[in-house]
Amino acid sequence: MVTWNNLDTLASFQDLAKTERVNLAEVMSGENGAERVKNYSIPMAAGLVYNYAAKQVDDQVLAALAKLAEEAQLTEKYKELYNGEVINTGEKRLVLHQLTRGQLGDAVVADGVDKRAFYVEQQQKIAEFAHKVHAGEITNAAGEKFTTVVQIGIGGSDLGPRAMYLALENWAKKNNLFKMEAQFISNVDPDDAAAVLNSIDVAHAIFVLVSKSGTTLETLTNESFVKDALKNAGLDASKHMIAVTSETSPLAKSDDYLAAFFMDDYIGGRFSSTSAVGGAVLSLAFGPEVFAQFLEGAAEEDKLAMNEDVLKNPAMLDALIGVYERNVLGYPATTVLPYSQALSRFPAHLQQLDMESNGKSVNRFGEPVNYPTGPVIFGEPGTNGQHSFYQLLHQGTDIVPLQFVGFKNSQIGTDVVIQDSTSQQKLCANVVAQIVAFACGKADENRNKNFEGGRPSSIIIGDKLDPKALGALLAHFENKIMFQGFVWNVNSFDQEGVQLGKVLAKRVLAHETDGALKAYSDLLNI
C-alpha cells in the first residue's frame, strides 16, 4: 500500500542527515578523482550517460539515499502514476504525459477512452496533416506551399516546444530533414508578435494556436493580433491557422481553423512537449518521423525510471542527490549548464518545469511543510555562462550545485582547427575544466585568487544531440522532478501559484481596483 508522508517524518531521512559529509576537493583530486569519474556513472537512454562523480556523495550517502527511495516508495508511486491513479490531488486529475510516448503499465481508461490510443490517434492525425502540408496538398489560398510555422502559446505551450525546436534546428538542416522554419509568439507584449510577423512572409505562414481551455488571455490576444495582420494582408485567417486544444474548448470545432488536434487535462502544460502541443509544430518543422524519434528517446528513458535499483535509475538518483543537496546540505539553487548552443533555451524550459512543479510550501493534503522544497533553477549555455555568472558560482558565498550537459560531437559535423584543436574540442575542454575547478578549487595566498572548491556538479554526456537523445534528456528531467515531488510529498502537477496574478490582472483591465492596485494602474496609464 502506498502512503504519502512528509520528508521529515521518514526515518531514512534522519539517517541521511547523519551521514558524514564528503570532502569533494579531496575525493576528486589525483587518482581518487580518476576512479570516481570511471565508477560514478549510470547509462541513460539514447547513448547518454549520467555521471555524478563530482557530487558530494560516497557509498555511505548512496546507501542512505537508496533507503530513502525505498521508504518514500518512489518506485511504487511512479507505478501508480503511469497506471492511471489520481496523482494530481489539487485538481483531482490523472498525470499521463508518459502515455504520449509509450505504455509503461496497465491500459489507462479515463472518460471512457483508452488514453494511450487517444494520444496515438492525435499523433497520427498530426503526421497526416504535416505530410499534406509538406507535399503541397494543403496550401495557402494561392495554392502555394507554406514555408513557415508559427506557434502561438504561452508557458508550457511555448517554452518546451521552442526549446525542442531550437535543439534540433541545425541537426535537421545538416541531415536534410528541415521542412519549415518555426517561429514562436508568446508574450502578450505587442512587440513580440510584431517582431515575428515582420520577420516572416505571412502569406506563406501557417499558425498553430495552442490553448487547452481555449480561453488563455495572452494567447487569444496574440491570435487577434495575428488575425488582424493576415486580414490587412488580404488573407483569410481561417486558411492559415490550426488549433491545438481540448475537445471541449470553444476552439475544437470552430470554422476559424484548418484543423484541430487535441490534448486533455491529464497533461500539464510544462509536461506537454511530447503531446500535440509539441507534436504539431515539430512535425511541421522537421517531419513526423523526427518527432517519432524524439518520442522514442523519451519512452526509453521513462522505462529506466521504473528500475527499483537507485544506482541503475539515473532520474531517481539525480532526484535524490538533489534532495540531499537541498535538505541536508542546504543549497538553495541549481544551475543547468548545457555545453551545446542548440540547448540555448533548455534551461528556460527547466525553470518552468521544475519551479512550477515543486515550488510548493504545502504538502499534497494542503498542510504546511517544515522543510525546503524546490530550488531556484537558472542557467545559460556554456561557454557563454562562464563570462557571465560563473564568478558567483566559483567564489560566491552560496554553493550552487551545477548540472552540466555535454556532447562529444557537434550537430553539424564540420569544424575548424585553431591552435591545434577544434572548436568542439575547445568546448569540451571548457566543461571538463569547469567540473574539476568547481570540485577541487585552487589554493592561493592571495585570497582574491583563492578557490575553495567543494562545489558539486553532475554531467550528462552524449555522443551527439539528435532527436532520440533530446527525448531522453527531456524525460530524464521530467522524471527527476516527479521523484523529487514524491520525496517532498508535494503535488508537482498543479500550479495555483500562477493564478492570483491572472485574477488581479482581470480586475485591473475591468477597472475594478482600489488601493495599491489602483495606484500602480494609474502609474502605467491603464
Tell me the pairing of strands 113-114 and 333-339: unpaired
First to last CA, the chain: 55
Q: b/e for 115-138, b at 16 or more Cβ within 10 A? A: bbebbeebbebbbebbbebbeeeb
Cis previous bond, 383, omega within 30: yes
From the candidates 312, 387, 408, 506, give the one annotated as an active-site residue: 387
Phi and psi at residue 499, to the nearest 5° = -85, -40
Q: Is 197 helix (H, G, I), strand (E, B) or coil?
A: helix
Distance between CA atoms of residues 277 and 262, nearest Å: 9
* Backbone φ, ψ for residue 376 (5° rounding): -70, 135
Q: Which helix (H) or strand (E) holds 147?
A: none
* C-alpha cell read off for 165: 525546436
Known catalytic membership, residue 231: no
Per-residue cell: 45: 537512454
Q: Indicate if 174 belongs to the active site.
A: no
CA angle 23, 459, 25 (to 5 degrees): 15
Query: Within a 10 A sphere around the Cβ of 518, how many other Cβ atoms?
Result: 15
List 223, 296, 301, 356, catalytic entry: 356
C-alpha cell at 254: 470552430
Catalytic residue check, 132? no
| Contact (Cβ atoms closer than 8 angstroms) between residue 339 and residue 406 | yes
From 38, 502, 506, 512, the catalytic residue = 502
431, three cell numbers: 566543461
Q: Evaluate the CA torsion angle 217, 218, 220, 224 in order and state its sign.
A: positive
Beta bridge partners of 263: 246
Q: What is the b/e burial string over 256-278, where b = at least 16 CB atoms within 10 angstroms of the residue's CB?
A: ebbbbbbbbbbbbbbbbbbbbbb
SS3 category, 225: helix
> In this structure, are residues 130 and 283 in contact, taking their beta carbons and an 8 Å threshold?
yes
Cell of 450: 583563492
Q: What is the 3-state secondary structure (H, E, C) of 33-61?
A: HHHHHHHCEEECHHHCEEECCCCCCCHHH
The answer to whether residues 377 and 348 touch, using CB atoms and an 8 Å cutoff, is: no
Is the separation of the CB atoms in 476 and 403 below 8 Å?
no
Active site residues: 356, 387, 502
